[in-house]
A and B are shown apart, each in its own frame.
Chain A
Amino acid sequence: MYRYDEFDHALVQDRVTQFRRQVERRMKGEISEEQFRPLRLMNGLYLQLHAYMLRVAIPYGTLDSRQMRKLAYIARRYDKGYGHFTTRQNIQYNWPKLEETPDILAELAEVEMHAIQTSGNCIRNVTSDQYAGAAKNEIEDPRIWCEIARQWSTLHPEFSFLPRKFKIAITGCENDRAAVKVHDIGMIMKRGAAGEVGFEVLVGGGLGRTPFVGKTIREFLPKEHFLSYMEAILRVYNQLGRRDNKYKARIKVTLHETGKEEFTRLVEEEWEAIKDSTLKLPKEEVDRIAAHFHPPAWKALPNDAPTCDSRAASDPEFAAWLRHNVEEHKTAGYAIVNISVKPPGEPPGDVTDVPMEAMAEMADAYSFSELRVTHVQNVTLPHVEKEQLPALFDDLAKHGLATANVGLVSDIICCPGLDYCALANARSIPVAQELTKRYTLERQQEIGDMQIKISGCINACGHHHVGNIGILGVDRKGEEHYQVQLGGSASEDASLGKIIGRGFTQDEVIEVVDKLLDTYLELREGEEAFIDTYRRVGMNPFKERVYGTA
């Protein structure tokens, strides 16, 4: 993985020193809260419902065991023993003290991490596929390009005060595990006509109060133009993006109001002017970054795994875990292991210090010390020998980390909601907790692939628009209420859900999910997934079951 050079170290250390002084000045009253707010936000420090909240970037979701241990230590030493993994591959601490935040940032800097650009109208943490470097059908490791984007976008003087925040996601294969199509810029690696590698470029995806699936503005971008094309997009957005209305300031609205054709023309025009400038990536520079992402020293192994197969034949729990949490690796004899950090009844994304340290231990023992955090708020060990899977499963089980529910009903994306968030209108976690307790694993496996996503407000941090079943918490006359949407998907077949009808109380919405699942099981054909049944039969059968009328 990428290791900081002297410039990275200096930049992050300087920022810690700078923020320490800013905090001192704030504590002494030399600067007001109004003056301090943008400074703390530039360092990921928010003021939430109960206390400050610090958002720390996990660049493109990749971290090593040393970094995971540091996250656990910070949770224990400076917070209340836990952190919350977010849908943008960050971790949030819910209870840091202002005076101690510079110390936290200094601790993070020791392990090459920071909270820079995790807030504000700038380019945020670039996110990616948690299977990067391990996915079977990957063209190239997308983290090389994520790291190039990180270096380009960090403290970029032209793009530090954009009309609004800006999110980029990059994937290295056709399977979208990074919700690329609902990002401001989505880059999907593909091959050109002659087999050369480049990207399909999507712009204007996003959720929030005005959701859009991104639109392809370039079918194929040769990879040496990766930066110049992004720069052109950002320049057009920086000029056209609305600054008069924050609700219309994201690039998705700019694209919508300008029109895809005109927006694309403007980007291409800008790009023509800069594409052969210093932004054109020299091969040596790409190679320098790529060297950081050389694959680990995989052994030459047979793909057969008799120990694993034999355990699976005799242990149904292990077999279920293999089926749902383990994926094919691109190298023979290895597997990708998804650790569900969503046991029944627990808040999705919340992980305490002890399991964090346990996962770091397991990364050392089984996965070349590498971990990934995923946009669905789980953790991945990317390179595990197949023959080690039974031992890993046993270790995970000891720490309550072997729940075989990845991709199932209880693998819910959920924002912190009104239990923590100052912007939320309703609680989201209690709904998730109730749903995760409601269905046995056997029932969940019978239902199959399912993405339930829950947000506590229209900002949609819980991605409800792209849930197969999406749940949005709203405030209706002073009471928490929940709207239900059906038919969303964040995958390569991205789509936005449609509202089924009037909303529900918290108790009712749980019953509604029951009815939706029952309807699906009655209507599905063969192995059809919920989303495919919905797309085939439409909204009406579900609506009839829920309301008694279509």
Chain B
Amino acid sequence: MTQIVIANYLGSGRVVFLAKGSGNGSVSWGELIDTAEVATDEDRATALLALAEADVAERNVVMDPYLIDVEEEGGSLRPTKYREAIRALGPTVRQDLGKQAEGAEA
């Protein structure tokens, strides 16, 4: 299994990912999926989600965190479910909007 934590920024509502390096006493959020901290086992995934939920309560910058399944493809992370892939990249019908317009790749 490979999982990452996805959430929304409170102020902008934008989709964000629990970023690499989170978990060592600090939590940060990144806007592109490839910046996400990856869990490759269940314990790590549970720990990342707990970290995200604690950050919701403590810093109040994100909301609604949850885990999604991803796979690595050509050096990039890609959600395995199409719903999450659309969420991670932007509307498929408006390629000029969302993260796909800001450097993320399908």
Residues of A at under 8 Å CB distance from B?
A: 26-29, 33, 47, 49-52, 80, 95-99, 347, 418-420, 427, 429-430, 433, 478-480
Query: What residues on B are CB-neighbors of A96 within 8 Å?
Result: 13
Q: Which residues of B contact A418 (CB under 8 A)?
A: 82-83, 86
Complex-state Cα separation, A26 to B63, whole angstroms: 11
**Which segment of B19-27, B39-47, B89-97 sits at the interface?**
B89-97
B2 adjacent to chain A (CB < 8 Å): no
Q: Is B60 an interface residue (CB 8 A)?
A: yes
CB neighbors of A among B12-36 (8 A): 12-15
Partner of B86, one of A47, A95, A419: A419
With A51-B8, A430-B93 known, 20 other A-B pairs at CB within 8 A are A27-B10, A33-B63, A47-B13, A47-B64, A49-B83, A50-B15, A50-B87, A51-B13, A51-B14, A52-B13, A95-B13, A95-B97, A97-B11, A98-B11, A418-B86, A419-B93, A427-B92, A430-B92, A479-B82, A480-B82
The smallest C-beta distance from B81 to any residue of chain A, in angstroms, reads: 6
Chain B 35-89 residues near chain A, CB threshold 8 A: 56, 60, 63-64, 81-83, 86-87
> Across chains A and B, which 5 residue pairs bring their CB atoms closest together, nearest first?
A29-B60, A51-B13, A52-B13, A419-B91, A429-B93
B90's contact among A33, A50, A98, A479, by CB below 8 Å, is which? Answer: A50
- The answer to whether B10 and A47 touch across the interface, beta carbons within 8 angstroms, is no
Q: How far is the CB of A493 from chain B (nearest CB, A)?
A: 33
**Interface, chain B (partner A; CB < 8 A):** 8, 10-15, 56, 60, 63-64, 81-83, 86-87, 90-94, 97-98
A50→B81 contact, CB < 8 A:
no
Q: Which of B12, B81, B87, B92 contacts A98 (CB 8 A)?
A: B12
CB-CB < 8 A to B82: which residues of A?
A: 418, 478-480
| Bound: A442/B60 CA distance, A | 56
CA distance A291 to B8 in the complex (A): 47
* 22 A–B contacts, CB within 8 A, in A order: A27-B60, A33-B56, A33-B63, A47-B63, A49-B86, A50-B15, A50-B91, A50-B98, A51-B8, A51-B14, A52-B13, A80-B97, A96-B13, A97-B11, A97-B12, A98-B13, A99-B11, A347-B93, A418-B83, A419-B86, A430-B92, A478-B81
**Which residues of B have CB within 8 Å of A479?**
82
Is there contact, CB below 8 Å, between A50 and B14? yes
State the CA gap A134–B12 with chains docked (Å). Answer: 42
**Smallest beta-carbon distance B35→chain A, Å:** 17
- CB of B42, distance to nearest CB on chain A (Å): 21
A346 nearest CB neighbor, chain B only: B93
Instruction: Determine the distance from Cα of A218 to Cα of B12 in the docked complex, in whole angstroms.
Output: 48
Smallest CB-CB separation from A427: which chain B residue?
A: B92
Give the Cβ gap from A413 to chain B, nearest Cβ, in Å: 16
**Residues of chain A lying within 8 A (CB to CB) of residue B60:** 27-29
- Bound: A80/B90 CA distance, A: 13
- B63–A419 CB distance below 8 A: no
Residues in B with CB closer than 8 Å to A27 are 10-11, 60
**Residues of B with C-beta under 8 A to A478:** 81-82
What distance in Å separates the Cβ of A471 from its nearest Cβ neighbour in chain B? 16
Q: How far is the CA of A26 from the CA of B93 in the complex (A)?
A: 32
Measured in the bound complex, the distance between the Cα atoms of B60 and A28 in whole Å is 8
Q: Which residues of the partner chain B approach A99 to less than 8 Å between Cβ atoms?
A: 11
A26 touches which one: B8, B10, B13, B83 (CB < 8 A)?
A: B10
A419-B64 contact given A97-B13, A98-B11, A478-B81, CB 8 Å threshold: no
- B97 smallest CB distance to A (angstroms): 6
Asked if B64 and A33 sit within 8 Å, CB to CB, the answer is: yes
Contacts of A429 in B (CB 8 A): 91, 93
Q: In the complex, what residues of A have CB within 8 A of residue B12's CB? A: 51, 97-98
Highest count of chain B CB atoms <10 Å: which of A50, A96, A433: A50
Please indicate the chain A residues that have their CB under 8 angstroms from the CB of B91 in the complex: 50, 419-420, 429
Assembled-state Cα–Cα distance A29/B59 (Å): 8
The smallest beta-carbon distance between B105 and chain A, in angstroms, is 17
Q: Are the C-beta atoms of B94 and A419 separated by less than 8 Å?
A: yes
Residues of A within 8 A of B97 (CB): 80, 95
